[in-house]
Amino acid sequence: MRFDDRTVFVTGAGAGIGRATAERCAAEGARVIVTDVDCEGGKETVERIEAADGDATFHELDVRDEAAFADLVESIAAEDGLDALVNNAGIGQPPAVVEETDTETFDRVLDINLRGVWNGCHAALPAMKAQGSGAIVNVGSLASVLGLPKQSVYSLTKGAVLNFTRAVAAEAGPHGVRANAVCPGFTDTALGREYFESRGDPETARERMTAQYPLRRLGEPEEIADCIAFLASDESSYVTGHGLVVDGGYSAQ
């Protein structure tokens, strides 16, 4: 299996894409480090993995906490090694035009979506460089490559995640470390459903969104997880600095 005797660290693994990624990697033989601020969700992910005979442990982690992130990564790397880091934790933005977006929203979205990815890479790179190998997968968004109206802060953070990923790839490549991003289109997760709820008529909003995608459906978390697992594995050993858009054809139009 592609992750036999490998350790994969996943943030925001208590639900959605993070949970699907943790389960996918565990099914391929990984020791999965499940982290989230949602302890109940994170522990449930571990229970699901263990029920399928996989190997996982849960650690509560707020990705905004640089010291906590660094301490946990250092501990995991010293004990089991660190073969892959998936910086998945992120939040959405309440729809609003730029001038009506408040500072509190700006700060919170930047702290989680951008600072969290920075903290993860900052913590993992010393261990990965020291061992001469490692794969970082940062979860961006369709908003990494397209500016989404009324999602200015979200677009700002996800665009930055993609370019930051490229910088890490260029810098860490000589040390045997790869960095890539996965940029999903609209995915059927709790975050996506929150967006529909914010539109007032969730069913109509979902229908209108689905109609914009050539495949005429939203992505499933497991489909995004498949792409993350590919980039975290040796099957993508000559791929680095890439933003893999997984959007059902939306950006092809």
Active site (catalytic) residues = 154
Q: Residue 191, class by beta-carbon neighbours within 10 Å (0-12 exposed, 13-18 middle, 19+ buried)?
A: middle
Are the beta carbons of 12 and 90 closer than 8 angstroms? yes
Distance CA(181)–CA(43), nearest Å, equals 26
Give the number of other CB atoms < 10 A from CB of residue 7: 20
Site of tokens 């004990």: 79
**Residue 241, Ramachandran bin (φ over 0: left; ψ between -120 and 50: alpha; else beta):** left
Distance CA(96)–CA(23), nearest Å, equals 34
Distance CA(54)–CA(194), nearest Å, equals 31
Q: Residue 113 carries which DSSP code?
A: I
φ/ψ (deg, to 5) at 47 = -60, -40
Distance CA(195)–CA(61), nearest Å, equals 25
φ/ψ (deg, to 5) at 10 = -125, 125
